[in-house]
Structure 1
Amino acid sequence: MSKYLLDKFLYTVDRDQDLVERYREDPVGTVEWWEAEYANRILNCVDDERSTWLAFEEAEREALRTHDYPALFAMGAHPFLTLTLFIAMFERDHEGLGFQLEYARRLAHVEMPYPDIST
């Protein structure tokens, strides 16, 4: 499992409004496209700088495809990255702080110490 790759996905998608919308509307296609096009790009480098070995494991891929942020959290994805991305995608579907409250409710079962979020 690669917490780095999960966090990289969440970070890069969250910083591009078009990708946020694409991920909201077509999570399966977006995850597949992102993994093929971006997973091995080195952050903050020219596009030609790439690695060759990064790929999601099937459990990570499935959690991303289904917007399963509790599973992503359990896998060690950074909670601030999941929260900000999923707020951007789903806040409009809830009144007031409704999505933030739903996020908290779905993660209420998690007790300290939280999953390790170091990469």
Structure 2
Amino acid sequence: MSKYLLNKFLFTVDRDPELVERYRDDPQGTVEWWEAGEANRILACHTGESSTWLAFTDDERAALTEHDHVRLFELGAHPFLTLTLFIAMFERDNTEPLAFQKEYGRKLAHLSPPYPDIAT
């Protein structure tokens, strides 16, 4: 398991409006594409430098593919990263103000301290 990789995915997808839409519409394809080509690029964009060993676990891949923010939090993804990305993807589907944020909180309400470690 790599909390770093989960957070890197959430961070990089959230910062690209085209990737946000791609992830919303085709989560499995986006996760597969990102893991195959982007996951091992060095953050900070040094041209030509990359790693070769980072990959999602089956559980991480499933949580990302299912847009399961509760499971992502349980796996150690930072809640601010899931919240901002998922607001970008799903807030538009609601007519009530802050509806997605309220639902996000309700779905995490069963958790109590100590929360999963989100340090990377």
TM above 0.5, yes or no, is yes
- Using the alignment, how far apart are the partners of 2:53 and 2:15 within structure 1? 24
Partner of 2:110: 109
| Aligned counterpart, 1:98 | 99
Q: Which consecutive residues of structure 2, in runs of 5 or more, have no partner in the other structure?
A: none
- What is the match of residue 64 of structure 2? 64
**Deviation string, structure 1 residues 50-101 (Cα, Å, up to 9, x no partner):** 0000000000000000000000000000010000000000000112100000
C-alpha displacement of 1:104: 0.4
Q: How many aligned positions are there?
A: 119
Q: Distance in 2 between matches of 1:110 and 1:47?
A: 41
Give the structure 2 partner of residue 82 of structure 1.
82
Question: What residue identity is the alignment partner of 1:51?
Answer: S
Aligned sequence identity (%): 71
Q: Distance in 1 between matches of 2:47 and 2:67?
A: 27
- Write the distance in 1 (CA, Å) between the matches of 2:101 and 2:45: 34
The yes-or-no answer on 1:18 pairing with 2:18 is: yes
Runs of 4+ in 1 over 3 A off after TM superposition: none
Query: What 5-or-longer segments of structure 1 have no aligned partner?
Result: none
- Quote the RMSD (CA, aligned, Å): 0.7
TM-score norm. by structure 2 comes to: 0.97
Letter in 2 for 1:116: D
